[in-house]
Structure formats: structure tokens, C-alpha cells
């Protein structure tokens, strides 16, 4: 999608500190981290939000969560614990309208957030 920063990162047009990628997803470090580990996992295909997914996107959603687990292992927070967050819509704090999973770790997270 034209003008989408995450599409540009996913295509390699904008550089990012990429942790890993495959044909479907990219995981990269957030430029404004809120935790010692703060990685974003995005689909390479533009999907505006979780609410914008369609029947048939189950494989993509599974890939995003599998990638989030891989991020936790590769960044060393799998054992100590980590939080995964998907903000959906402006009212929930989504600021980039391209589906993304935040993987947060390296500190204690209160509940409720």
C-alpha cells in the first residue's frame, strides 16, 4: 500500500534492524522501544489491522504468532516471560495501520496494563 511505512520496511525499501524474515513476515526492532526487548512482527502483505483480516487469513495469523515466539527465543526472553500485544484501531492505540504484533520483554509488566 502506498505510503505505508511497514509495507516499505517489509519490502526492504526502508531499512530496519531486522531480527529475521521469511516470505510472509518480518520481525524488526521498534525504533521507540518501551521495554528492553521491543520487536514488531508484521506481515509483508498489507493488512490494516486485526479487524481487517478475512476468512483465509488464519495461516498468516498463525505465522505472526509463531514469529512472535521465535522473537522471544532469539532475544532471550522466552524463559523469563514476554508480552505480545496487537492494538486494533485508533481507540486501542494503533498508530500505524498495518497489522503488527509487539513482542515486549526484559522487564516486569503490570496487569492491568
Angstrom distance (rounded) from CA 100 to CA 48: 9
Angstrom distance (rounded) from CA 9 to CA 109: 28
The closest alpha carbon to 9, from 17, 72, 70, 71, belongs to 17
Residue 102 among the catalytic residues: no
Active-site annotation holder among 32, 38, 98, 100: 100
Which amino acids are annotated catalytic? 100
Amino acid at each position: 500500500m502506498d505510503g505505508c511505512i511497514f509495507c516499505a520496511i517489509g519490502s526492504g525499501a526502508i531499512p530496519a534492524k531486522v531480527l529475521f524474515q521469511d516470505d510472509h513476515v518480518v520481525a524488526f526492532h521498534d525504533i521507540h522501544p518501551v521495554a528492553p526487548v521491543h520487536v514488531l512482527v508484521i506481515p509483508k502483505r498489507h493488512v490494516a489491522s486485526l479487524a481487517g483480516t478475512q476468512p483465509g487469513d488464519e495461516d498468516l495469523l498463525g505465522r505472526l504468532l509463531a514469529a512472535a515466539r521465535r522473537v522471544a527465543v532469539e532475544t532471550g526472553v522466552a524463559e523469563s516471560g514476554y508480552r505480545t500485544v496487537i492494538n486494533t484501531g485508533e481507540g486501542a492505540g494503533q498508530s500505524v495501520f498495518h497489522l503488527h504484533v509487539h513482542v515486549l520483554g526484559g522487564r516486569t509488566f503490570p496487569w492491568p496494563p
